[in-house]
Structure 1
């Protein structure tokens, strides 16, 4: 597994906490806090757009 630098967990009221991370090659990762050993991975841009949409309330039902 690549060396991933994780950010602090993002937690919304009543929802699971998620963590975002990146590796040295610029890949982006997202994982449920506490399960960082099983992250989803995609390009940094794809994950950035997903998180921006979630924070904007466009995908609130996904959390």
Structure 2
């Protein structure tokens, strides 16, 4: 059984099936980030929890500019 979670996208990307968004999931304890527009050929970036939390903090501070 795999410990990789499902891809999740932001609620701000709309509720439709639009594939032009950044998605995240957990693979074990490691966050993974990907761009959904490339479907199965998309690169998957595995980052540290600290880096991911830093990205979220930056987006929250700068996302509405």
Whether TM-score is above 0.5 comes out as yes
Q: Which runs of 4+ in 1 moved over 4 A?
A: none
1:2-61 deviations in whole A, cap 9, x for unaligned? 73432234539xxx521111112x001111124464111111221121122023207x7x
Q: Looking at secondary structure, tell me which structure has more strand per residue.
A: 1
Please tell me whether the aligned partners of residues 9 and 21 of structure 2 are also in contact (alpha carbons under 8 angstroms).
no
**Bigger-Rg structure (1/2):** 2
Partner of 2:33: 30
Cα-Cα RMSD: 2.9
| Unaligned residue ranges in structure 2 (runs of 5+) | 15-19
| Unaligned residue ranges in structure 1 (runs of 5+) | none
Question: Hey, what's the Cα distance between the residues in 2 that align with 1:35 and 1:48?
Answer: 25
Q: Looking at secondary structure, tell me which structure has more helix per residue.
A: 2
